[in-house]
Amino acid sequence: MEVSTRKPKISSTGTGIDRISSLPDDVLHNILSSLFIFDVVQLSVLSKRWRYVWTMLPYLHFDIDKFYSQRIQRYCDFVIAGRFEDFINWVLISQGDTYKLYQLCIVQFLLCFDNLFDEATILRWINHVTTRRNVQELVLKFRLGKAFELPYCLVTCQSLQVLKLHLSGDVLISSAEIASS
């Protein structure tokens, strides 16, 4: 009996086989959740399947330091903050129809920045993820420079299981304080 010493042929990327794209959505989402959302969106150009896989990503992490400072080695200013705000709005709008169609929820929404956005913008994002996206975990890390009132939608959001607040130097305003003003 003759034993073959030939090694089995291993397919290379030159054969056009895309094994990553054939993974189930939940596995892809698990892999993509460890990346920055900006990188995940950029990966959408890899293939037709990847073009829209990010629109169903259940983990949305928006951290301005990781978004710009680490990427372009530049400190954040109001121009960069404006682009970051536009990016968050674009992601939320782009995912909107997908979330409605498949009745998806956001497992975790993280928002991290330092005194760059007005209260109305922050409240709009919180309201959007709690009333339209069924967020399960909401992580807010920011500094406004003034007291902040948590919106009522946080209390009425039935899907919200975890709320983490890291409000550096800020205090929360209660409804009673507002009524007495």
Report the pLDDT value the prediction gives residue 64, as an integer from 0 to 100: 83
Could you give the percent of the chain with pLDDT greater than 70? Answer: 78
Report the pLDDT value the prediction gives residue 82, as an integer from 0 to 100: 86
Residue 143 class from Cβ within 10 Å (0-12 exposed, 13-18 middle, 19+ buried)?
middle
C-alpha distance from residue 58 to each of 90, 95, 126, 133, 136 (Å): 16, 10, 16, 10, 10
C-alpha distance from residue 44 to each of 4, 47, 66, 80, 124 (Å): 43, 7, 19, 23, 27
> In the 3-class helix/strand/coil scheme, how is the chain assigned residue by residue?
CCCCCCCCCCCCHHHCCCCCCCCCHHHHHHHHCCCCHHHHHHHHHCCHHHHHHHHHCCEEEEEHHHHHHHHHCCCCCHHHHHHHHHHHHHHHHHHHHHHHHHCCCCCEEEEECCCCCCHHHHHHHHHHHHHCCCCCEEEEEECCCCCECCCCHHHHCCCCCEEEEEECCCCECCHHHHHHC
pLDDT bucket at 10, cuts 50 / 70 / 90: very low
The yes-or-no verdict on residue 164 having pLDDT over 80 is: yes
Report the predicted TM-score, pTM, of the whole model to 2 decimal places: 0.78
- pLDDT tens figures, 72-104: 555 667 777 888 899 999 999 888 777 776 778
| Domain-wise residue ranges, the chain | 22-180
